[in-house]
């Protein structure tokens, strides 16, 4: 399997270059096609208002979203123009209200092998950025590569960490990341405080490692103690200690308050991400 259809989405003209560059380089490496979407988002929530004022507010908000979409599309085209000339790419723009963003993103993500997006937290990021990730992961059912502000230093990652906890989500992420894993020089399956009475108590991560090796992956298992309060803290320190190029992990969500909300462990990891994070659900 290879990534043949990539998608990147920009919700602002600011800070889009790292994700666009990573998406373009991955597309070139895999001889793939890249679809790029400039999204203008109406973030207003019209509640109680005087008769007639709601329509005025909606019209003004949509006009503003259309202006943002045009500015974002212009920045997107400029970023793509700086990439390799042989890149096969299609650019489009769309306008949506925040409440309908999930449908707009999911409709495109469902047909992508990989969605490449910027880190959703930072000075130039808004609520729509996390919502875009959630839509691609949970409703679009696509793997998502999150690119930090400093970019993807190794388009073809040499040292990859796979976070393993025997969950369905972690297994899906490992399978979806196989094109990256097969090309890596080393893949470390990291297990943090494995349960003493679990199914893999005698050989944590062993079966996953066996599966990867059969696919030609240079994999090994690393067991770590939970020496810090949060699992994400242990992972972040291990990524720095090993100078890893990529983290692969399952994305966890809850559907109590919204269609999909990134779970605490996923959000904690993204908030401190220094390297690209590959997520799948």
How would residue 197 be classed by pLDDT, with cut points 50, 70 and 90?
A: confident
Lowest mean pLDDT across 72-76, 119-123, 143-147, 235-239 = 119-123
pLDDT of amino acid 261: 65
- For 255-265, letters b (16+ CB in 10 Å) and e give eeeeebbbeeb
Residues making up the chain, counted from first to last:
281
d(CA 42, CA 26): 31
Q: Is the pLDDT of residue 46 over 60?
A: no
C-beta atoms surrounding 271 within 10 Å = 13
Of 255, 46, 38, which Cα lies nearest the Cα of 128? 38
How would residue 271 be classed by pLDDT, with cut points 50, 70 and 90?
A: confident
pLDDT of amino acid 61: 76
Q: Is the pLDDT of residue 11 over 50?
A: yes
pLDDT of amino acid 63: 84
Average pLDDT for 80-105: 94
In the chain, list all ranges with CATH 3.40.50.620: 5-147, 159-280
208-220 pLDDT, tens per residue? 999 999 999 999 9
Q: Is the pLDDT of residue 255 over 70?
A: no
pLDDT of amino acid 256: 45
Q: Is the pLDDT of residue 107 over 70?
A: yes
Lowest mean pLDDT across 74-83, 121-130, 155-164 = 121-130
pLDDT of amino acid 136: 97
Per-residue tokens: 9: 């989405």
For the chain, count helices (H), then strands (E): 9, 12
Q: What is the CATH number of domain 5-147?
A: 3.40.50.620
Return mean pLDDT, the chain: 90
How would residue 257 be classed by pLDDT, with cut points 50, 70 and 90?
A: very low
Torsion sign over Cα 54, 120, 146, 227: negative
pLDDT of amino acid 154: 85
In what helix (H) or strand (E) does residue 57 lie, and over which residues does it extend? Answer: helix 53-81
Describe the crossing of helices 206-214 and 168-176 by its angle, rounded to 10 degrees: 20
3-state secondary structure of 181: helix
159-280 architecture in CATH?
Answer: 3-Layer(aba) Sandwich (3.40)
Lowest mean pLDDT across 175-179, 182-186, 224-228 = 224-228
pLDDT of amino acid 52: 52
């Amino acid at each position: 399997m290879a990534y043949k259809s990539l998608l990147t989405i920009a919700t602002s003209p600011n800070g889009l270059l790292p994700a666009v560059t990573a998406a373009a380089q991955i597309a070139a490496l895999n001889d793939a096609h890249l679809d790029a979407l400039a999204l203008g988002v109406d973030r207003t929530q019209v509640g109680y208002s005087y008769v007639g004022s709601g329509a005025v507010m909606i019209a003004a908000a949509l006009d503003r979203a259309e202006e943002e979409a045009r500015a974002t599309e212009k920045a997107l085209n400029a970023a793509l123009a700086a990439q390799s000339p042989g890149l096969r790419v299609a650019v489009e723009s769309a306008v949506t209200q925040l409440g309908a963003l999930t449908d707009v993103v999911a409709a495109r993500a469902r047909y992508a092998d990989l969605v490449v997006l910027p880190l959703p937290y930072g000075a130039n990021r808004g609520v729509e950025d996390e919502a875009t990730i959630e839509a691609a992961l949970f409703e679009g059912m696509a793997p998502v590569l999150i690119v930090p502000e400093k970019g993807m230093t190794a388009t073809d990652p040499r040292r990859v960490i796979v976070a393993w906890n025997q969950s369905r989500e972690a297994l899906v992420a490992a399978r979806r990341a196989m094109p990256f894993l097969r090309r890596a020089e080393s893949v470390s399956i990291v297990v943090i405080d494995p349960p003493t009475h679990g199914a893999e108590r005698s050989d944590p991560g062993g079966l996953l490692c066996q599966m990867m090796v059969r696919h030609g992956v240079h994999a090994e298992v690393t067991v770590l103690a939970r020496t810090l309060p949060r699992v994400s803290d242990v992972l972040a320190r291990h990524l720095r200690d090993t100078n890893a190029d990529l983290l692969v992990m399952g994305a966890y969500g809850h559907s109590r308050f919204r269609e999909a909300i990134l779970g605490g462990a996923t959000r904690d990891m993204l908030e401190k991400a220094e390297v690209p994070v590959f997520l799948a659900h």
